[in-house]
Each structure stands twice: as C-alpha cells, then as structure tokens.
Amino acid sequence: QQQVKQSPQSLIVQKGGISIINCAYENTAFDYFPWYQQFPGKGPALLIAIRPDVSEKKEGRFTISFNKSAKQFSLHIMDSQPGDSATYFCAASHTGGGNKLTFGTGTQLKVEL
C-alpha cells in the first residue's frame, strides 16, 4: 500500500513562479518529513525537512507547510528557477520504525524560461 501519496506527477512552471507539490500520509506514527531533490543521473539529496510540532519551515526559497490534522504536507518553491528543474520526492519516517524512509512517487518539475 502507498503510505505516502504525492501529487502532481509532473509540473511545469514559468521562471519566477511558485511550484507547489503536495503529499498526504496515512501512518500517524510518522514524525519526520523530509523532501529530497534528484537531478538526472544522481542520487536523491536532502532538500529540507520538518517535524510535526511545527506548521511551517522555510529555508531560502523552499518552504514546507505541514497540516497534522489533515495528514498533509507540501513543498513550495518560490521564485522558481530553471536550475530547480529536477524530480522531488516527499518522504516520511518514524521513531522506532527502523529509521527507514517511505517515499512518495515523485514529481518531475520543469521550470521554463
């Protein structure tokens, strides 16, 4: 079963626009929610992460919004740039869950000039 559902599958945004990727989870034991960025031919790399005791975390142009009651979290990329074009994965893990991350299905973002 897909414990972390991610949408959209692909996204095209104009340079300078806002990119929004959404994820929903089922397991209420999850207590760590990272986003990973992957460029072609590379492994995923941590972009930003949040714990459920805060509703928002911002790092530069990247913001995670977290809604614990709805079991949803999203990534917002402000002032999107062509260099942001990559695949983005949301993920979740929980203490005592073997430290293993459960990933969403990924979103291919393309930022056009």
User: What would the 3-class secondary structure string for 28-72 be?
Assistant: CCCCEEEEEEECCCCCCEEEEEECCCCCEEEECCEEEEEECCCCE
Q: Write the burial class of residue 51 (CB in 10 Å: 0-12 exposed, 13-18 middle, 19+ buried).
A: exposed
Query: Rule CB under 8 A: which residues touch other proteins?
Result: 6, 9, 31-32, 34, 36, 41-46, 49, 51, 89, 95, 98-106
Closest CB to other proteins among 22 and 102? 102
Q: From the CB of 113, what's the least distance to other proteins, in Å?
A: 26
- Closer CB to other proteins, residue 43 or residue 113? 43
Minimum distance from residue 61 beta carbon to other proteins (Å): 20
